[in-house]
Amino acid sequence: MQDQPPTNTHTRFIESALNGKILTNKCKNCGKIMLETVYYCPACSKTDFELLEFNGIGNVVTHTIQAVAPEGFEDVDSYAWVVFQVDDAPIRASGFLPGVRLPSELPIGSKVKVTGYDKKHGLSLQKVPEH
C-alpha cells in the first residue's frame, strides 16, 4: 500500500474496517507495528510510517456479554464486546459482536472476523464457524 498524506486517521481506520481489514502503521525506522490511530511510534518516537493492512481475522483474547447495554446499544438483542489478536500481526483490536448470548458460545480462542464499521455500533465482528 502507498503512503498517504495524513487525513482524519479515524476515517482511514474506519474505511479499512469497512473492507474487513485492520489498518496499522509500520514504523519505517524501527519496524514496530501499531494501530493506525497512533501518531508517534511508541518504540522510537518517529512519525514516518508505512500503512499496512491486515485481514481483520483473529482469535478472541477476552470478551464480555453485555446484559445491560449502554445507551445506543439498547436496540441490539444481545452482543459481546470482544478483544481479539489479529492474525499475523503483533496487535490486538476490539469490536462489537452481535448475536452472542452465553459465554459458552464464544470460548476464548474462537476465531472472529471484521465485517464492517457500523455508524452506531462501531467495529463489527462475526464469529467464524469452526471447520
Partner 1 sequence: MTNSVCVLGAGSTKYGKLNEDIIEIALNAAKGAIDSAGITPKQIQSGYISNVFGVADKQVHMAPVLMSNLGIPEVPGLTIESACGSGSVMFREAYANVKAGFYDCILALGVEKVTHTGTAQSTTLFSYCSDFFYEGGNGASFPGLFASIARAYMTKYKATEEDLAHVAVKNHENGILNPKAHIRKRITVDDVLNSPVVASPLKVFDCCPFSDGASAVILCSEEFAKKSGKPYVKVIGSGRGASPAAVQGREDIATIPSTVAAAKQAYDMAGVKPKDIDFAEVHDCFTIAEIIDVEDLGFFKKGTGAQGAREGETRRDGRIPINPSGGLKSKGHPIGATGIGQVVEVFEQFTGGAGDRTVKDAQIALTHNFGATGASAAVHIFQKV
**What SS3 state is found at 15?**
helix
Least Cβ distance, residue 86 to partner 1 (angstroms): 10
Cα atoms in the 13 Å half-sphere on the side-chain side of 79: 20
Q: Lay out the site mask for partner 1 across 67-106 (x = CB under 8 A, - = otherwise).
A: xxxxxxx--x--x-x-x--------xxxxx------x---
∠ CA 99-103-104, nearest 5°, is: 100
Verify binding: residue 18, partner 1, rule CB under 8 A: no
> Can you tell me the distance from the alpha carbon of 63 to that of 108, in angstroms, rounded to the nearest whole number?
8
**Which grid cell is 19?**
473492507
Using the rule CB under 8 A, give the single segment among 23-31, 47-55, 120-128 that binds partner 1.
120-128
Verify binding: residue 26, partner 1, rule CB under 8 A: no
Q: Give the residues lining the site for partner 1 (CB under 8 A).
A: 10, 37, 61-73, 76, 79, 81, 83, 92-96, 103, 108, 121-123
